[in-house]
Structure formats: structure tokens, C-alpha cells
């Protein structure tokens, strides 16, 4: 049976993990992740939550009058950036939890 000291240690560990999670979430909010499409013709930067911050189009992305192809290129770059941001987010939070999958954490 666990004694009062064990419960105190458990509480301290939980508080430490909460502080580390708060720090990790702040780092995630402040990070920038880049995605690209068309060999870099379209590049998109998103924050850690996947919100688009900037879109960069190279001269090669101009594609003349083909606005549909340009829109597809930008959309692909946005999706790439958001996927990368989610992956980085999961990896960072997993570091804090020691790989434990905690429901509602991500």
C-alpha cells in the first residue's frame, strides 16, 4: 500500500509534468514549420497549430494563366506544412510524456 510520502512524490511528478507540458505547448505555439510543393515552387509557413502565416511562390510557380494549377500547388504546400506541424507537435509532447499516449493531450 502506498504511503503519504508516495502520494506526495506522485503529486510532485504530476506538477513537474504539467509545467513541462505548458512549456512544450508554448514552444509549439511559437515554432514555425515549412511545407512545400512543386519542388519548392510553393512554400508555406505555419505556426505550431497549423495556422498559415506566410505563402511564398517562386517565379516558376507563376504558371501563366493556369490559376487552377497554382491554387492546387498552394493547397498542397499548405497541407504539407500542416502535416509537418502536427508531426513536430506530437513528437515534442511525446518527449514530455515519455511516449505515453494521454487522451486529450494532443
Domain boundaries, the chain: 32-96
Q: What is the structure's pLDDT at 54?
A: 92
Q: What is the structure's pLDDT at 104?
A: 59
Read out DSSP for 69-99? HHHHHHHHHHHHHHHHHHHHHHHHHHHHHTT
Question: Does 3 have pLDDT greater than 60?
Answer: yes
Phi (first) and psi of residue 52, to 5 degrees: -65, 130
Q: Name the CATH topology of 32-96.
A: Ybab; Chain: A; (3.30.1310)
How confident is the model over 87-104, as pLDDT tens digits? 999 888 888 887 776 665
Q: What is the structure's pLDDT at 46?
A: 94
How confident is the model over 47-60, as pLDDT tens digits? 988 899 999 888 77
Beta bridge partners of 56: 43
Amino acid at each position: 500500500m502506498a504511503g503519504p510520502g508516495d502520494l506526495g512524490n506522485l503529486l510532485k511528478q504530476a506538477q513537474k509534468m504539467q509545467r513541462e507540458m505548458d512549456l512544450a505547448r508554448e514552444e509549439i505555439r511559437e515554432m514555425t514549420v515549412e511545407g512545400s510543393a512543386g519542388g519548392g515552387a510553393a512554400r508555406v509557413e505555419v505556426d505550431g497549430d497549423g495556422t498559415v502565416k506566410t505563402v511564398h511562390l517562386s517565379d516558376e510557380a507563376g504558371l501563366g494563366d493556369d490559376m487552377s494549377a497554382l491554387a492546387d500547388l498552394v493547397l498542397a504546400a499548405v497541407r504539407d506544412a500542416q502535416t509537418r506541424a502536427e508531426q513536430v507537435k506530437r513528437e515534442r509532447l511525446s518527449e514530455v510524456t515519455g511516449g505515453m499516449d494521454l487522451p486529450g493531450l494532443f
